[in-house]
Amino acid sequence: MSLHVDVRKRLDSFTLDVSFTAGKGITSLLGASGCGKSMTLKFIAGIEKPDEGRIELDGRVLFDSAAGINLPPQKRRVGYLFQNYALFPNMTVRQNILCGLNREKDRAVKETRLREMLRMMQLEGLEERKPAQLSGGQQQRTALARILVNDPQILLLDEPFSALDAHLRDSLKVEMRDLLERFGREVLMVTHDRNEAYNMSREIAVMDKGRLLTSKPTKELFADPGSIPAAVLTGCKNITAARRVDAHTVEVPEWGVRLETKQRVEERLCAVGIRAHYFNPAAQQNRFPVRFVEEMEEPFETIIQFRYAAQRGDSPAIWWRLAKDKKPPQFPGELGIAAANILLLYE
Amino acid sequence: MNFDWYPLINSLRIAAISCVLVFFTGIFFAYYAARLPRTVKGVLDVILTLPMVLPPTVCGYFLLLVFGVKRPLGIFLMQFGVKFVMTWYGGVLAAAVVAFPLMYRTARGAFESFDKTLAYSGQTLGLSNTYIFWRIRMPACRQGIMAGTVLAFARALGEYGATSMLIGYTPGKTATISTTVYQLWRTDDEKGAMFWVLINLAISTVVLLSVNMLEARQKKAVRA
């Protein structure tokens, strides 16, 4: 049970070149907007055609440029949840879901499966409504019902929560995750939101300008993004050029410091990243004198900007983020970072 | 009283038949033009829209160039007893050519603003392209297509220039409302001309009113 993608297509500003394998469970494609992640979903669904390559799903070839195979979307058995849900506006909830049952010819079976799906997705009582008369969450459930009733072999989700109000998002994420676990097949989700990717997925593939940088289990990726774009996409605020000194020491010229690392440093190191949460006035490792620059408050956290005493003038201030109740009464003269919290970034 | 109602019947059948022709050809070209490569589309677009900006008499002139009884195509068609010059169904041809761009352009505008993800999601659900076209795309573009149809019908009903060039004015044979109005006015029959003007006004009003009523009913249905 797995999806293999290895495709290329020339686009206006870059060449999209992705190759990955996704297994059971939720895999996220994380990337900035316009990096080609939605296009990748369209390749898999057969809506867009790659210039060359191969796409295979559970042993079925969906696309193979060398063999001249390009199955139409209708034959791919791929469920695609669009960002705007793409419900047919002229049809009721019932008619929309029946569209997903078009392969089933037996009317009684159709009706039973429709009923089951309406119950499962908590849409009972809304059958005769038009999409415009539904809330965002109901629209999402209707679109999912229409897709799931169609019994797809894989589910593609394109920014599934972006059309929803912020306060709805978290509860729907939990709902959707449980539902997708019951679905029990491959799910590929596209998102630019690191929290969404972290909440929902078992594995994350990071995309940047049409290329797939890394593909790792979620927690590993956040612990060790490995490249600058991946560090940025996972929310690392402090990234600066660095050089290897020895197996466990790096030199950071802009900040005027040398940092001790827990991970082994390789020769091709180009930068280090330090998450804003990881500075600690109590840490003894990598402890250096600092100078306060600015402070910004959020409801539950404080963001402090500071500079190292020896920091170069053109280098931007460093971000430190901490819970308000953990904030020391006075700005400390020195800050440390645990050696394990230095992210080593390579080309 | 033995009043000659022929112009009314003739005008209505010319407008109705040409409207049906234009409905299908306009939609066909609008749908396929949208998928052509940009340069081909540009050229085709100019050709298909020309009848809208050319004077109708010029359209009629071109029609005579192609279908005239001494032209190759005209001679060829004559062998099958088909003659577009000086016949009522020649009027259908003239009205269709002039009304076509109105249907084509409004339908194309509607298709272009159609949300493509609707068609894509239909395809991934396994719906056939024919089903998607008639049950999803057409209903979503209904307003634009209806507007185009009404405009085309109104234009076909009021066609004068190309019609008079191609089929002229023969009472009881090729006379339409608009050619009759001109003919009666030219022969100083003010009253007769006014009568046909009023008939024309009445038809146009009925058409527009029914369109408005249809739209209002649709909006109500959506709101309910």
DSSP-assigned letters across all residues of B56-108: HHHHHHHHHHHH-TTSHHHHHHHTTT---TTSHHHHHHHHHHHHHHHHHHHHH
Cross-chain residue pair A78–B127, CB shorter than 8 Å: no
Please report the residues numbered 113 through 172 in chain B whose beta carbons come closer than 8 angstroms to any beta carbon of chain A: 115, 117-118, 120-128, 131, 135-136, 139-140
Pick from A76, A86, A102: which is nearest to B121 by CB? A86
Distance CA B78, CA B81 (A): 5
Interface probe for A, chosen from B35, B116, B118, B121 (most Cβ of A below 10 Å), is: B121
Cross-strand bridge partners of residue A322: A302
Cross-chain residue pair B126–A103, CB shorter than 8 Å: yes
Distance CA B186, CA B192 (A): 11
pLDDT in tens, chain A (347 residues): 789 999 999 998 899 999 999 988 899 999 998 899 999 999 999 999 999 999 999 999 999 999 999 999 999 999 999 999 999 999 999 999 999 999 989 999 999 999 999 999 999 999 999 999 999 899 999 999 999 999 999 999 999 998 888 888 888 888 888 888 888 889 999 999 999 999 999 999 999 999 999 999 999 999 999 999 999 999 999 999 999 999 999 999 999 999 999 999 999 999 999 999 999 999 999 999 999 999 999 999 999 999 999 999 899 999 999 999 888 888 998 999 999 999 999 98
Residue B35 pLDDT: 80
Is B53 in a helix, a strand, or coil? helix
A132 CB-near residues (< 8 Å, 6+ apart): A89, B222
Residue A76 distance to chain B (closest CA, Å): 7
pLDDT in tens, chain B (224 residues): 467 899 999 999 999 999 999 999 999 999 888 788 888 988 988 999 999 999 999 999 999 999 998 888 989 998 998 899 999 999 999 999 999 999 999 998 888 889 999 999 999 999 999 999 999 999 988 888 888 898 899 899 989 999 999 999 999 899 999 999 999 999 999 999 999 999 999 998 888 888 788 777 777 765 55
Distance CA A22, CA A15 (A): 22
Q: Which residue has the tokens 């199955």?
A: A71
ipTM of the complex in this document: 0.85
Residue B221 pLDDT: 63
Residue B135 distance to chain A (closest CA, Å): 9
Residue B127 distance to chain A (closest CA, Å): 7
Residue A319 distance to chain B (closest CA, Å): 41
Give me the helix-helix angle, B56-67 and B88-112, nearest 10°.
120
Q: What are phi and psi of A287, to 5 degrees?
A: -100, 125
pTM: 0.82
**Which of A4, A42, A281, A189 lies closest to B120 in space, CA to CA?**
A42
Cross-strand bridge partners of residue A188: A27, A156
Cross-chain residue pair A74–B117, CB shorter than 8 Å: no
Please count the residue pairs, one from chain A and one from chain B, whose beta carbons lie less than 8 angstroms apart.
63
The residue of chain A with its CA nearest to that of B222 is A130
Residue A129 pLDDT: 95
For residue A146, how many C-alpha atoms fall within 13 Å in the half-sphere facing its CB?
32
> Which domains, ranges and CATH numbers included, belong to chain B?
6-223 (1.10.3720.10)
Residues from chain B contacting residue A105 (CB–CB below 8 Å): none
Largest CA distance in chain B: 67
Residue A12 pLDDT: 87
Letter for the amino acid at A185? R
